[in-house]
Every structure is written in structure tokens, then in C-alpha cells.
Chain A
Amino acid sequence: MCGIVGIYLKNKKFEKSLGKMLSGMLNNMESRGPDSAGFAIYKDESKKLYKFSLCINDLNFNSFKKEISKKLKKARLAQISDHVILKTLEQPKKVIEIINSNFPKVSIVGYGRSIEIFKQVGNPKDVVKKFKLDSFSGTHGIGHTRMATESAITTDGSHPYSTGEDECLVHNGSLSNHNNLRRKLTKKGSVFNSENDTEVAAGYVSNSLSNNISLKDTLTSGLKDLDGFYTFITGTRKGFAVVRDEIACKPAVIAETKNYVAIASEFQAMAHLPDVNNAKIFEPEPGIVYSWGN
């Protein structure tokens, strides 16, 4: 099981309601994944600032703010439940090092110039409410509801997985060669924080993109290198892409109107979207990469 959803806006008019559209999609996919949920929203892209999505777990926000401000000058922090969005002019490498060596309780969920990621264990409806997804604006977003299979129900085991700047990936399915692939990618310098198979797929995509291979070519070669069954949605700063393995047991349906493109595991997830009944609705064909905005 697991539910995956994504929405990409073609019309700026809808940007204010992106969060509302996405939260409805996640709520409707509760039946496919009641264990944990998460979402990535792309918003307010900045040329200078980097944003870090952090899960501070049970750490006190004010004391974290005080401590991190000593290490990172001019850092701006905003708290939403147990997640914090940290904005800074410093380079990612330095920030990641500071967080990892000083705050062992804090996990870095993702970073980039545009992406903000929130994920947590629990029922999707509660997770969406907790992070106030309804109030988010943005250009595009993806989300996931998880029915845990191959690894534990933890924050680290929740999707989306982000293994590169402004990149993220959600997955419905399971991979059978993830341990081998993890070892190979670790040798090439990739860092993994969980035992989860999806994180390996995300790492595979990031590694390929960092070698200047296009997203389309990356996902096409992934069809050979990733063994298992899957529907993936990969988010980037400019848009997202969808691919299903060649057997295509894992569902996906796309609805496209002149204002947006929505993708979900089931039509149920998008039944509330504006004008969806007049949308062009189709299933992505197996083994073919579909992308928007990239």
C-alpha cells in the first residue's frame, strides 16, 4: 500500500491554495497509509538564502534557537510543531556540519533554496493538521501516506526523502536490491540515515543528478538499476516527475487541467480538486517518465 500524491500549478492564481489542495489529497489517502505522513512544498525560492527543514524532536525550541544562533549568525528560525525551518546565508556543507556535530537530537529532513519538508508518524489527518498544511502557499508539492512494510514506523522511515538540494522523492512499492545499491552509493560518497529502501532510491536520483544527468535520463536508467516494484514521484526546484516500473502493479492516476497537474495513487485523492471532473485523466504508462516544469 502507501499513498502518494503530487500537485504542480500551471496558474499562479492557485498558489495560495496549494496547501489546501495538497492536504485534501493526503487526507483522502489515509486508507492507503495510516502509519505516517509527510509532504514537501516548494515555495518562496530565494537566490541567496538556504532553507533547512529540521525535526527537533523533543528539544526545546527556544534553547535550540539560542544555541544555533551562537554558531550561525543571522539565522532565522520558524517553528511549526516539532519541525523548524531555518533560513541562513551560510553554505549547506557548513550548516549540516554544525547541526550534526552540535545537535545529535536534531535530524535534517531536507534543505534547499525552495523546498520545505515536514514528516511525522501518525495518522495523515493529524500530521497534516499539526503542520498546518492548509495554510501553505507554493508552486508545487508532493506528499506521502505510509503503510510501513520493510522498516519501522519512525520519523526517519517516513517520506518524502530528500538526499540533495531541493530534491525529494516519495514511493509506493518496495525495492529488493536496496542493500546492494546502498553499499555502492555509500562508496561514491552518498550518506544514508535509515535502513529504508526509498531513501536509497532518493540517493540514487541525487547521485545521478549531481553528475549532471537529466532527471528524465536518471529515472530512465533507474528502471534498470532499481529492482522491485514502484511508482515514484520525484520533486525538484522547478517541478516533478513520475515513473512506474515496467510491471506497473502500483497504481497512479494523473489529472491535468489548464491550471494544474495532479497525480495520486487513486482518483479518490483528487476528487475535491477544482474542475477535476473536466480534467484530462489518464494513467501513466509503465516504464515511461512523465515530467512537468523540469
Chain B
Amino acid sequence: MKLDLKKKKLREINNTLQNLDNKKNDRDFVIINPEGSHALCAGLNQEMKVLIKGHVGYYCAGMNQKAHVTIDGNVGTGVAENMMSGTVHVKGNASQSAGATAHGGLLVIDGDASSRCGISMKGIDIVVKGSVGHMSAFMAQSGTMLVCGDAGEALGDSLYETDIFVKGSVKSLGADCIEKKMEKKHLNKILALLKKSEIKNIKPDSFKRYGSARKLYNFNIDNVSSY
């Protein structure tokens, strides 16, 4: 079904997608003329496919559950923020805080993601084919971040337990984030993510693994300057 944001209001379109009839089989939607609208496809909670043709604004596909949303364009701040499950695929670039606080699902960004990508992520898998900006995976708690390009300053600052894999250069690591040894199970994890996000020609062992040094878990007076 085609949904045109020039003909229908944003709330109407979100309402339609959020309240699909369980018995309906038409679960394939195309949204045209998004023109940078905010909160498009936020709060979807059923199996469906949505293709958005054009650039969208903030919080696109936020809180997503089960739905598969593809954006054929760029996204603004907070794409897939607080996603629980499902997939969000951005074909262009993403602005800051992509996948923020998300608990599950897969976010794939074909272009670059800017600052604070995966801030406070809690279980989501984020794959960025380009590079990520500064303070990415800030206070990340769980899940995996795979970056095929470079990472900006303070990667993984105040990190808890997220695995970060970066193929390119890392400008600097944040407090308590260190490079860690790559083991077989990590290579398998990378391989699975590359496959899921349809990336070919990149070898799992070309990535480096970063994680938490676990020194900031408990208060220690020696680390006071890092808190």
C-alpha cells in the first residue's frame, strides 16, 4: 500500500501502521514524500515491511518492535531509538544518536553515522558500513556495534558490556574502553552480522575488537578523574 505524506497527515499514517488489523495480510507499505518529517514509523509493533522513499527527520522507527523499516535516504537524530526488535535499514547517512538506548533488533546504516551512535545501547546490533562520529557507544551496556569505516574521538566512553568492532582507524578511545583480544566466538559474531546485513568482501579478521576494561564499575579513588 502506498502512503503519501503530501496527501495524508503524519499522525494518520503512523496511526494506520500502529493499528493494523491482525487479520489483514497486506503488510507491505511504501511511504513517499517524507520531506524530513519527525517520528515517522515510531511505535510500530507488528510484523510488516515499510519502505520510506526520501529523507526523514528525527526518531524515525523509534521504539520499533518486529517491523522491518527501510529508509531510502538520510535520517535525522535518533533513528531506531529504543528499538526492541525488528530491523531498521538506512540507505543514506544517519545523524547523531542512531540506535540510542535500543534493547534489540538490527540497525544497518549504509552511509556514515554521526556522533553518539549507539549511546547507551542495551542489546541492539548496530552495523555501520561507513564511519561513526565522536562518543559512539557512549555508556553502551549490551549488544554489538560493527563499524566498517573509522570511529571518531572517545569511542566507547564509560563503556559497560558492549562488543565494539572497528575495521578502520579509531581517533581515540574513551575512558575505560580498551582494545581486546579477538577470539573465535567474536569472529563468528562478526561473520553472522556481516551476513545479516548483506556485506560481502569484508573478512571478519580485518576488524579490531574493543571493550570495557571494567575499571569504572566500582568507585575507586584512583580513577576519580575518569568519572
CB within 8 A of B55: which of A248, A267, A285? Answer: A267
B85 within 8 A of A: no
CB within 8 A of B93: which of A251, A283, A286? Answer: A283
A69 within 8 A of B: no
CB within 8 A of B95: which of A251, A268, A269? Answer: A251
Q: How far is the CA of A283 from the CA of B76 in the complex (A)?
A: 10
Cβ–Cβ < 8 Å partners of B62 in chain A: none
Cβ–Cβ < 8 Å partners of A248 in chain B: 96, 114-115, 133-134
CB within 8 A of A251: which of B74, B92, B96? Answer: B96
Cβ–Cβ < 8 Å partners of B95 in chain A: 251, 253, 283
B36 within 8 A of A: yes
Q: How far is the CA of A27 from the CA of B38 in the complex (A)?
A: 16
CB pair A266 B96 closer than 8 Å? no
Q: B200 to chain A: closest CB distance in Å? A: 26
Cβ–Cβ < 8 Å partners of A286 in chain B: 115, 133-134
Contact A277 to B36, CB < 8 A, known contacts A248-B96, A253-B95: no
CB pair A266 B76 closer than 8 Å? yes
CB pair A285 B76 closer than 8 Å? no
Q: CB-nearest residue of chain A relative to B74?
A: A281
B77 within 8 A of A: yes
Q: CB-nearest residue of chain A relative to B37?
A: A268
CB within 8 A of A281: which of B35, B55, B96, B134? Answer: B55
Contact A283 to B114, CB < 8 A, known contacts A266-B76, A267-B76, A271-B36: yes
Cβ–Cβ < 8 Å partners of B54 in chain A: 277
Contact A285 to B133, CB < 8 A, known contacts A253-B95, A266-B36, A268-B36: yes
B57 within 8 A of A: yes
Q: B208 to chain A: closest CB distance in Å? A: 23
Interface size class of B (residues with CB under 8 A): 20 to 34
Q: How far is the CA of A286 from the CA of B153 in the complex (A)?
A: 11
A282 within 8 A of B: yes
From 106 to 144 in chain B, residues with beta carbon under 8 angstroms from any chain A beta carbon are 114-115, 133-134
Q: Which of B55, B93, B115 has the most CB atoms of chain A within a 10 A radius of its CB? A: B55
Cβ–Cβ < 8 Å partners of B114 in chain A: 248, 283
From 23 to 62 in chain B, residues with beta carbon under 8 angstroms from any chain A beta carbon are 35-38, 54-58
Q: How far is the CA of A268 from the CA of B58 in the complex (A)?
A: 10
Q: A222 to chain B: closest CB distance in Å? A: 19
CB pair A281 B93 closer than 8 Å? yes
From 245 to 283 in chain A, residues with beta carbon under 8 angstroms from any chain B beta carbon are 248, 251, 253, 266-272, 277, 281-283
Q: B34 to chain A: closest CB distance in Å? A: 8
Cβ–Cβ < 8 Å partners of B37 in chain A: 268
Cβ–Cβ < 8 Å partners of A283 in chain B: 93, 95-96, 114
Cβ–Cβ < 8 Å partners of A281 in chain B: 55, 74, 92-93
CB pair A266 B55 closer than 8 Å? no
CB pair A267 B74 closer than 8 Å? yes
Q: How far is the CA of A282 from the CA of B73 in the complex (A)?
A: 12
Q: B103 to chain A: closest CB distance in Å? A: 24
CB pair B115 A267 closer than 8 Å? no
CB pair B55 A277 closer than 8 Å? yes
CB pair B36 A267 closer than 8 Å? yes
Q: How far is the CA of A269 from the CA of B74 in the complex (A)?
A: 14
Question: A-contacting residues of B (Cβ < 8 Å)?
Answer: 35-38, 54-58, 73-74, 76-77, 92-93, 95-96, 114-115, 133-134
Name 10 interchain pairs, CB-CB below 8 A, sorted by A: A248-B134, A251-B77, A251-B96, A267-B55, A270-B36, A271-B36, A271-B55, A281-B92, A283-B114, A285-B133
- Shortest 7 CB-CB distances between A and B: which pairs? A268-B36, A271-B35, A267-B36, A271-B36, A283-B114, A267-B55, A281-B74
